[in-house]
Amino acid sequence: MKPSAGLDALERRIVTLLQEDASISHAELAERVGSSSASCWRRIRTLEESGVLSSTVRLVNAERVGRGVNVICNVRVRSHAREVRGAFEDFIRSRPEVMECYSMSGEWDYLLRIVAADVADYENFLMRTLLDHPSVGGAASHFALSTTKYTTAVPV
């Protein structure tokens, strides 16, 4: 399989459509990309095996399930020792309210996107969970007022 940057035109069309609707049938997908169903199925399997395509999921509207507050949180760890960073990353992976976590360059060590029911819910997480973790040296929170753009689709 070619690296993802080397996808051919058919593979790009397949990936683009699957990012819009992963529940589309192979027959419908094949019709929309101008290929046979068997060819599409083989291409999808190859894209999965190469790691271009991963999990098939359903996206949940966070507001509709009571998690409408988005917080961007910068975190500084107490030490950059491997064990400290590993403990922090394991802790973050275990927290369902943390939707994304990035190791960062610059002033802050990590950037988190956290969903909460309301400000009090986030304050509880911040003060009684995040800041209590032994690896955390500090945090700065930024509340999203609205969402201008949110997508999970990667341009191909």
Per-residue HEC secondary structure of 87-155 comes to: HHHHHHHCCCCEEEEEECCCCCCEEEEEEECCHHHHHHHHHHHHCCCCCEEEEEEEECCCCCCCCCCCC
**pLDDT tens track for 98-135:** 999 999 999 999 999 999 999 999 999 999 999 999 99
CATH of the domain at 75: 3.30.70.920
Beta-carbon-side half-sphere exposure of residue 151 (alpha carbons within 13 Å): 9
The count of structural domains within the chain is 2
Sheet strands side by side (includes 69-77): 98-103, 110-116, 69-77, 136-143
In a domain, 154, yes or no: no
**pLDDT tens track for 34-86:** 999 999 999 999 999 999 999 999 999 999 999 999 999 999 999 999 999 99
Do 88 and 130 share a structural domain? yes
Confidence label for 1 from pLDDT (cuts 50, 70 and 90): very low
CB atoms within 10 A of CB 70: 20
pTM reported for the whole predicted model? 0.88
Residue type present at position 139 = A
In a domain, 27, yes or no: yes
Do 90 and 67 share a structural domain? yes
Which positions ≥6 away from 66 have C-beta within 8 Å?
117
Which has the closest alpha carbon to 97: 67, 137, 52, 72? 67
Do 137 and 67 share a structural domain? yes
Do 68 and 20 share a structural domain? no
Do 129 and 96 share a structural domain? yes
Do 67 and 37 share a structural domain? no
Confidence label for 5 from pLDDT (cuts 50, 70 and 90): low
